[in-house]
A = this chain, B = another copy of it.
């Protein structure tokens, strides 16, 4: 390697802002509901739009830390006193992820569950040491990246152990082996999306992974959860991007991925990408990167209905002419302008909105966008020009902030996702929508269910549902019932239980349907080999 570099995200760069303890995002980014949304809520749900009072971090009672002095001493020696924290605010900020049930649970007056201690190791070696100690001494370990899990993936579950520690990977921010020739770079697990893009950008490179959690989630989290970003049509899922993964386990280190492709037995990378901290802790990944695109073209489309739009997306993908971003909102989502967050609830829009963007050299963008334009036109689309696509891009990380504001005024708002073959897509959409509607109707809170396709493959696509209803007195139970009905419907209708949110705690019950009993036994056998004490992220991934 000519230009091996080893950099660490320094003080001069964008520091990570802590997410608000009981909401998405940072304190300064909270957005009040627009007048048009308030009007809509009053019309549809009879909701006044008055926000509930929220507590500050210091007002929250926590279950006391169970960390023993002995463990505290050892951990302090292992990683340094300043990187071992039993501070209550720190514990609260590591008390779970950001699903709607997580955020609602935070509003509870009872003492909150939280990890007993936060450990911030400096590097892979320290992670190995902490895991070995925890394994020998019976301490549950919850790897913690950006804390953006929406499936309970970072819940501080003790399992059979007295103590649970949150292994905060925020100090693992190295960038090394930047190789612009091969288009690869090795990234520390703790780098957030913006940090990774900033460091790569200094080399003229980009990762191109933009999930909605981009601002806060980490490289290690992307790998551990098989994340998929909004530019997946162009740059692939995060699992496609990973060429090598380094994993710390209680039994030692795994370093997997010697080549761009190999026939040297099963691809063990794929066993740890998606392992959700239950089989090991991903400390770094080598990822495929690309030159910062020379140009980006935008084009939005309108289709008369969802099926016509889905067929059009399929034609483009199967022709090998996929844009960088390719997505389609259904009639409900289009009508509410959910794809363009600044206009949510504005004047209703007919039909189905699709977004395309094209990145690359000018020649590549010209050729590819011309081919896609022809195919989308031929499939019944009407070109709307660049503006709606640029508006979508501008607001593309905004939806979770809107959810915060909706939860505050008594609206239940949550999302879930699945994927299936193109042929089964319409069936799956109908079944999941029906299950959600039926569940909410039966609870006396009829809801609005919206859907979009945001990830496409030659053989199928994802479906991403957004659900809105009026909160009941116990909104967590209300949502759990709807979510459970949707999950059952997904399994029966042949979808995957999760396309990019991962399993965590929330989808565990459906993993048997996903991989079968023998598949679960295979996963359990791998876990026993690497984590014989069972300390790694108890209660996640495996039933």
Within 8 Å of chain B (Cβ to Cβ): is A13?
A: no
Residue A442 interfacial (CB < 8 Å)? no
The answer to whether A264 touches B514, judged by C-beta atoms less than 8 angstroms apart, is yes
A375-B440 Cα distance, complex, nearest whole Å: 56
Q: Which residues on B sit within 8 Å (CB–CB) of A270? A: 266-267, 269-271
**Bound-complex Cα distance A421 to B261 (A):** 10
Contact of A450 with B by CB under 8 A: no
Whether A495 sits at the interface, judged by CB under 8 Å, is yes
Nearest-neighbour CB distance to chain B for A309, whole angstroms, equals: 15
Q: What 1/0 mask marks residues of chain A from 278 to 310 whose CB sits below 8 Å from any chain B CB?
A: 010000000010110000000000000000000
Which listed segment binds B: A95-103, A457-465, A467-475? A457-465
> How far, in angstroms, from A182 to B264 measured CA to CA in the complex?
30
Would you give the 0/1 interface string for A441-465, flagging 1 where the beta carbon is closer than 8 Å to chain B? 0000000000000010111111000
Stretch from A72-80, A84-92, A388-396, A520-528 that touches the partner: A520-528
Q: Scoring A residues 476 to 514 as 1 if CB is less than 8 Å from chain B, else 0, what string do you get? A: 000000000000000000111111111100010001001
Q: List CB contacts (< 8 Å) of A255-285 with chain B.
A: 255-256, 258-276, 279
A226: interface (CB < 8 Å): yes
Q: Are B182 and A423 in contact (CB under 8 A)?
A: yes
B364 & A521 in contact (Cβ 8 Å cutoff): no
Give the number of times this chain occurs in the complex, counting copies: 2
Which residues on the B side are within 8 Å of A258 (C-beta)? 420, 494-496, 514
Closest to A508 in B: B265
Q: Which of A29-37, A317-325, A326-334 interfaces with chain B?
A: A317-325
**Is B458 touching A265 in the complex (CB atoms < 8 A)?**
no
Residue pair A457, B254 in contact (C-beta under 8 Å): no
CB–CB A498/B422 < 8 A: no
Residues on B with C-beta less than 8 A from A234 are 320
State whether B516 touches A255 (Cβ < 8 A).
Answer: yes
Known: A514-B258, A530-B522. A182 touches B459 (CB 8 A): yes
Question: Nearest-CB distance from A187 to chain B (Å)?
Answer: 14
Whether, in the assembled complex, A374 has its beta carbon less than 8 Å from a beta carbon of chain B, the answer is yes
Residues of B within 8 A of A517 (CB): 252
Tell whether, in the assembled complex, residue B254 and residue A519 are in contact, meaning their CB atoms are under 8 Å apart. Answer: yes
Contacts of A237 in B (CB 8 A): 261
Residue A1, interface by CB 8 Å: yes
Find chain B residues with CB under 8 A from A523 CB. Answer: 265-266, 268
The answer to the question of A227 belonging to the interface, with a C-beta cut-off of 8 Å to chain B, is yes
Q: A421-B182, A530-B522 are contacts. A265–B274 as well, Cβ < 8 Å?
A: yes
| Alpha-carbon distance between A518 and B256 when the two chains are bound, in angstroms | 10
Question: A502 to chain B: closest CB distance in Å?
Answer: 5
> In the complex, are the beta carbons of B264 and A273 less than 8 A apart?
no
Given contacts A179-B423, A263-B228, A528-B525, contact A367 B364 (CB under 8 A): no
A264 touches B374 (CB 8 A): no
B422, A182: Cβ atoms closer than 8 Å: yes
A295 to chain B, nearest CB (A): 13
Q: Could you say which of B181, B259, B360 contacts A319, with CB atoms under 8 Å apart?
A: B360
> Which residues 384-411 in A have Cβ within 8 Å of B in the complex?
none
Are A262 and B419 CB-contacts (below 8 A) given A361-B319, A516-B254? yes
With A321-B364, A360-B320 known to touch, is A262 a contact of B496 (CB < 8 Å)? yes
Residues of B within 8 A of A263 (CB): 225-228, 274, 496, 498-503
Chain B positions within 8 Å of A497 at CB level: 262, 264
Q: Is A11 close to B, CB under 8 A?
A: no
Choose from B254, B421, B528, B541 the contact partner of A260 (Cβ within 8 Å): B421
> Closest approach, in angstroms, between the C-beta of A109 and any C-beta of chain B?
34
A53 at the A/B interface (Cβ < 8 Å)? no
Report the separation of the CA atoms of residues A425 and B495 in the bound assembly, to the nearest whole angstrom: 41
Inter-chain contact B514/A265, CB cutoff 8 Å: yes
Chain A residues within CB distance 8 Å of chain B: 1-2, 179, 181-184, 225-228, 234, 237, 239, 243, 249, 251-256, 258-276, 279, 288, 290-291, 314, 318-321, 360-361, 363-364, 367-368, 370-371, 374, 418-424, 455, 457-462, 494-503, 507, 511, 514-519, 521-526, 528-530, 541
- List 22 A-B residue pairs with CB atoms under 8 Å apart, sorted by A's residue number: A2-B423, A181-B314, A182-B421, A182-B460, A228-B263, A234-B320, A237-B261, A258-B494, A259-B499, A264-B498, A264-B502, A264-B511, A264-B515, A265-B502, A265-B541, A268-B523, A291-B318, A320-B360, A320-B368, A321-B367, A364-B371, A521-B529
The 4 closest A-B pairs by CB, nearest first: A270-B270, A259-B496, A260-B460, A260-B457
